[in-house]
Amino acid sequence: MIWDYQPPWWLLGGNAQTIYSAKLAQRYVGAKPRWQRERWDTQDGDFVDVDWRNDEIALPDDAPLLVLFHGLEGSSSSHYAQAFAQEAKLRGWHMAVPHFRGCSGELNWAPRAYHSGDFEEVGWMLSRFQMLHQGPLFAVGISLGGNALMRWAGEVGHSANQVLQAIASVCSPIDLTASGNAIDTGFNKAVYARMFLATMKPRAMQKLAQFPGLFDPLELRAAKTLYAFDNVFTAPLHGFNSTDDYWDRASAKPGLSRIQVPALVLNARNDPFIPESCLPTQGQVSDLVTLWQPEQGGHVGFASGTFPADLQEMPWAVMEWMTQNG
């Protein structure tokens, strides 16, 4: 199966596709997806919140389960999570969205947050889902979540097959240095980096109130780029020496050649966040990795159909690929 996204004639350019899909495109048909929250205690005395799709009709216990790892500052309310929830419902799949620490609406307790290479956390979550669920397990990661998921798959190799059937990443910055530099430049810096920092900086200051002295608040407030924010907050809190060290070690791209579970890597070539020049080639990935690199799509911006357009084509294509290859 090969999917090549074609946008509506009136939705042109990576920025338009990105912004329209996030803000205006139809995410679901009928009732809004409903979630039932479950709290998991972590091994370090913290917690993560998991939202399970609460379907109107009970599904068999052994129906497939889709686990969706959200993107930077995302949640089960994100446009892509709701679109995948719609597709999971149509297929009769269970679905769950585990929130990275601090992203469920309540500040987590430990002196840490989450990051793009958080593969240990991803592995722990997947093992927990495997223990809880009787049927086939699939996972998709969006943007940051996809990098962490692919980072996990590259790290564990053949062991991934013992946990799940197939994985997919959607618009993930698998080369964090290239993507970080892109988002901190020009229009991207003015719009996207500013948007992310508007929520990340206040949450970091809440973390500082929990743990006085954790970082320098003056440096944090002065941060105007993701690079600067990561240098003050993300990198040191998670064991990295600097932003450069973090972006280098957390990138999933070098590990794609070691993946030993069916994996789909979907990246639009006009993604404002992810330069086309950094996308992987088939020679850089294992035989079990499929690359989809349509010319259009922006950053998780695959709206389709007639005006006002909807978001169902991409989730359908991704889940169809996983069904056929898992």
- Domains of the chain as residue ranges with CATH: 14-173+251-325 (3.40.50.1820), 176-250 (no CATH)
Q: What is the mean pLDDT of residues 232-242?
A: 98
What pLDDT does residue 55 have? 78
Is 286 considered catalytic here? no
Q: Which of 49, 118, 175, 271 is catalytic?
A: 271
Is 55 considered catalytic here? no
**pLDDT tens profile 41-53:** 999 999 999 999 9
Is 158 considered catalytic here? no
**pLDDT tens profile 100-155:** 999 999 999 999 999 999 999 999 999 999 999 999 999 999 999 999 999 999 99
State yes or no: pLDDT of 13 exceeds 90.
yes
State yes or no: pLDDT of 304 exceeds 80.
yes
What pLDDT does residue 31 have? 87
Q: What is the mean pLDDT of residues 208-216?
A: 98
Q: Which of 143, 169, 172, 251 is catalytic?
A: 143
pTM: 0.98
Contact status, residue 76 vs residue 35, Cβ threshold 8 Å: yes
Contact status, residue 267 vs residue 171, Cβ threshold 8 Å: yes
Q: Which of 94, 99, 115, 299 is catalytic?
A: 299
CA 156 – CA 159 distance, rounded (Å): 6
